[in-house]
Structure 1
């Protein structure tokens, strides 16, 4: 079970270099399991026992199954995560030709840890919008192979490198793609048109626009002397998306269950498809009773906001509160913050702890040091918009927001087990 889950996660990460690809990968897995796609522009016909999913902007997805028990009696069991990760996004007019090299200008998306992006084999993926036969279309592309790199400056030319230096995102991050000779000029959009032809057999009249991200081509892997760890890109937060999907697909059919994977969490979630936008409430209002009954259902429901937690790093243990240092491979973490950066309450934390005890899954707690700032999740956003009870949890990881993160190889199984139980358990 553990090895199968870990390999499934590795395959999912490889297929999901961008939020667009992650959403497409989730949708493919849902359709294989019998879930029906609902178009937001059309009338919906849903029924008890039905399995459905909705996408928006090609980068957010909500999957749900309506249980045999009416939501007005049993409430909803919701698991929330996000599809985006910090990265380098290509600018609209990116071509830079300097000193015989072709480079692309990039913009930093989210709170990326920048130093690990140097000296990595990078590829490019995302969504391209183009015109074909007079119509505007969009398609996902993925170059797959390494096409770029951001070389470090040799220490001989930067003697202070090991003392730390401020990375200038404008000047130091443009990746190198090729050498160019003389007056040769590259047209990036023509390059994208060629890729559409190679990858999809499409003959685009013109590439109109794009949302493209560089990513590390090194595959995720189970590593360590005793295979204790999973190393890979975008564990924050595709790890939680994958765990939620596995739990949903293996859950019982009695209760109404939702999996919510939204884009733009790393930049605040304020978008048409982000957690701070209207997508979730609009979906819920189309499948639930209206007016007073809608509020009654929400008040009988619970959201598990699943987003990675900071594991205690052996080299930096002083960055944690001494009593709240989550360990890798010691189970999911309940995240608490008195200033509501996490939406956990004593009741919701107690319920999640009860679930873990019942399933014999180890559970931990995290509170940030009192002299440090605290990150946040989609939990407080959804909780404040819907008024739904929420618990913030996540698996402990190292190097969060790096190009390659690290998690425990035992913890995915722990999380899937407790989330599967959550989808079937009577709510308090």
Structure 2
């Protein structure tokens, strides 16, 4: 499992730019589309009739994007190679009536999204991002990327036992951010958003807004061998998937149709029209088959030969809590991507999937590691089992080992993003 790859700091630098420019799932999709367009992909609309042309295409819906490349010579029964990921991360999201106050402080009402690690959002400078929907049905992206709000922690003088008894946060009372002092008027936040985006406040009919840390991604450590930043779960995989798909699309010959599927709402169960449990991926793949003159038989053959790598972050061994990990499986940063296994199907990997992943890493010259949970610790899950069950697609769960998962700021090895992208490229090229 020795690596034949030298550290590509340019790839990690580009990931840092992608993270900083993508504070919400809607920005992830917009930035993904921009990168695909530069690589020669074209957007196709779900409401239009699709033709059987070859080349790169993508569909976007809300916070999800599906992209694929049909090579010359592909038949209706040509199988797909899918890289699956997700665009959302745990955070604080704005409630429908956001303007509130307490004891002279102007505050904003928020709802907790996903498995948020609450204490990591305390005393952190927060910006505002997402999208607004206008009266004509169009959307505008919002990104106020400067210190705007803050969730203040109670001073130790007023909570003397905090370091002995642990920090106890009430999700309703203690997580409301402040953004000023004085009188609060209903509609203040949306009027502010209207000014920031250059639209009239009465044109805004809906919003999907959230908070994000404005601290930039950064290299960390004596030798800068670590990377700290927000939303690496799971934009690290989205970014690697884009790079792999673009690289595969330039291959001289492809035995498969490479696909990137980046879904929204993974962090709260994937049950939405843009989540992995929705019909989006299946519709896109089936329409691709049919647009090339395929039949139900061709669809069945193509799906039977399709493989998905569900790429999401996993847990690196924590030096201060090693007892929480499985003793024989301690993934380390810069050790290459991890193969995630859970026999109770929290991950979709089986022995055949292991062989697929190992083969891709071997062709790419990339080291890889095993991950399995401690039997006494509940295992998380991914889009992998959902994709396998919904579409009947053989699926393998992989990812990159990180620390501080679901924190407002996570940590990984600086080499691992490039190693993951190289493995995904080899997988898509077949």
- TM-score for the superposition, normalised by structure 1: 0.94
- Structure 1 residue 165 corresponds to structure 2 residue 167: yes
> Does the CA contact (< 8 Å) of 2:149 and 2:179 recur in 1?
yes
Q: CA deviation at 1:109?
A: 0.3
Aligned position for 1:422: 427
C-alpha RMSD of the superposition: 1.4
CA deviation digits over 1:336-355, x for unaligned, max 9? 01001111010111121122
Aligned position for 2:368: 363
Q: How does 1:80-159 map to 2 (within 5 A)?
A: 80-131=84-135, 135-159=136-160
> Does the CA contact (< 8 Å) of 2:98 and 2:189 recur in 1?
no
Indicate the SS of the match to 1:213.
Answer: strand
Aligned position for 2:202: 205
Aligned position for 1:254: 253
Structure-1 separation of matches of 2:421 and 2:270:
25
- Structure 1 residue 215 corresponds to structure 2 residue 180: no
- Structure 1 residue 309 corresponds to structure 2 residue 314: yes
- Structure 1 residue 244 corresponds to structure 2 residue 241: yes
Aligned position for 1:196: 194
Q: Residues 168, 386 of structure 1: CA spacing in aligned structure 2 closer, same or farther, 3 A cutoff?
A: same
CA deviation digits over 1:21-58, x for unaligned, max 9? 1111101111111111111111112323x1100011x2
Structure-1 separation of matches of 2:19 and 2:147:
16
Q: CA deviation at 1:150?
A: 0.8
- Structure 1 residue 38 corresponds to structure 2 residue 50: no
Structure-1 separation of matches of 2:212 and 2:366:
34
Count matched residues.
415
Residue 14 of structure 1: which of 17, 20, 23 is its match?
20
Aligned position for 2:224: 227
Q: CA deviation at 1:97?
A: 1.6
Indicate the SS of the match to 2:212.
Answer: strand
Structure-1 separation of matches of 2:15 and 2:199:
31
Indicate the SS of the match to 1:34.
Answer: coil
> Does the CA contact (< 8 Å) of 2:271 and 2:278 recur in 1?
yes
> Does the CA contact (< 8 Å) of 2:99 and 2:189 recur in 1?
no
Q: CA deviation at 1:166?
A: 2.5
Indicate the SS of the match to 1:356.
Answer: helix
Q: CA deviation at 1:72?
A: 5.2
Indicate the SS of the match to 2:167.
Answer: coil
Q: CA deviation at 1:73?
A: 6.1
Instruction: Flag structure 2 segments of 5+ consecutive residues without an equivalent.
Output: 1-6
Q: CA deviation at 1:204?
A: 4.4
Aligned position for 2:3: none
Q: CA deviation at 1:274?
A: 0.5
> Does the CA contact (< 8 Å) of 1:68 and 1:253 recur in 2?
no
CA deviation digits over 1:152-191, x for unaligned, max 9? 10111011211213210100001000011xxx3333x454
Indicate the SS of the match to 1:53.
Answer: strand
> Does the CA contact (< 8 Å) of 1:71 and 1:297 recur in 2?
no
CA deviation digits over 1:370-400, x for unaligned, max 9? 1111111101101111111111000000000
Indicate the SS of the match to 2:339.
Answer: strand
CA deviation digits over 1:286-312, x for unaligned, max 9? 111231211111111110100001000
Structure-1 separation of matches of 2:29 and 2:123:
29
Structure-1 separation of matches of 2:160 and 2:188:
40
Indicate the SS of the match to 2:138.
Answer: strand
Indicate the SS of the match to 2:37.
Answer: helix
Structure-1 separation of matches of 2:39 and 2:10:
17
Q: CA deviation at 1:68?
A: 2.2
Instruction: Flag structure 1 segments of 5+ consecutive residues without an equivalent.
Output: none
Indicate the SS of the match to 1:145.
Answer: strand
> Does the CA contact (< 8 Å) of 1:122 and 1:146 recur in 2?
yes
Q: CA deviation at 1:258?
A: 0.3
> Does the CA contact (< 8 Å) of 1:72 and 1:296 recur in 2?
no
Structure-1 separation of matches of 2:215 and 2:407:
13
Indicate the SS of the match to 1:144.
Answer: strand
CA deviation digits over 1:255-296, x for unaligned, max 9? 311000000000000101110000011111111123121111
